[in-house]
Chain A
Amino acid sequence: DTGVSQDPRHKITKRGQNVTFRCDPISEHNRLYWYRQTLGQGPEFLTYFQNEAQLEKSRLLSDRFSAERPKGSFSTLEIQRTEQGDSAMYLCASSLESGNEQYFGPGTRLTVT
């Protein structure tokens, strides 16, 4: 499978715990994006990398959230001190530098209890 992959697919955690998600983009794509989607809403942008550089961050990305893409390949999204409001589907997407079309992974569904 050469599409975007995400791990884990599901995560249940208790409030206050830290969680980390991983995204592996399509291999030749140098742009990588993180989005969050809650029920009944479209995905909302969180942050974007071009290679290893984090070039754009949304106001939704509070100081409890951090994302990295250390070698310009896979990326991680960490949420510290999780809150119930963090429960959502976290989607990763990737694209070529030459195009705007973004291709999404299957997402990580986070439930904070």
Chain B
Amino acid sequence: RKEVEQDPGPFNVPEGATVAFNCTYSNSASQSFFWYRQDCRKEPKLLMSVYSSGNEDGRFTAQLNRASQYISLLIRDSKLSDSATYLCVLPRDPGAGSYQLTFGKGTKLSVIP
């Protein structure tokens, strides 16, 4: 299994829809996770941090399933401005002094009027 795997999409959804992305990871020792969003030709921007079983911020909910080694991102009431690529991210191994982030390839979301 690759370190971080994501469905590349694209996910094309109408405005107002609910959409969910999954991400699987191979390092069972991973304790924290991040979702970043990246607009075309822009830098990744931190969307959510997940340190326990999940996190919710407005329309966005991230959940972690340690037993199955996947994390999910749920977006409710999609807006046109949510159109972007969503990157699933794991810290490599902070406990061993490695602070590099490992990124998935990203899932592309297009919200359609």
Which one of B53-61, B63-71, B94-102 is at the interface? Answer: B94-102
Which residues on A are within 8 Å of B, measured CB to CB?
A: 31, 33, 35, 40-45, 48, 55-56, 58, 91, 93, 95, 100-107, 109
Give the A-B pair count, Cβ closer than 8 A. Answer: 55
> Which residues of the partner chain A approach B87 to less than 8 Å between Cβ atoms?
42-43
Bound-state Cα–Cα, A106 to B44, Å:
9
Question: With A43-B44, A91-B43, A106-B43 in contact, do A101 and B102 touch (Cβ < 8 Å)?
Answer: no
By a beta-carbon cutoff of 8 Å, the part of chain B in contact with chain A is 4, 32, 34, 41-46, 49, 87, 89, 91-92, 94, 97-106
Distance of A102 Cα from B45 Cα, bound (Å):
9
> Which one of B43, B46, B98 has the greatest number of beta carbons of chain A within 10 Å?
B43
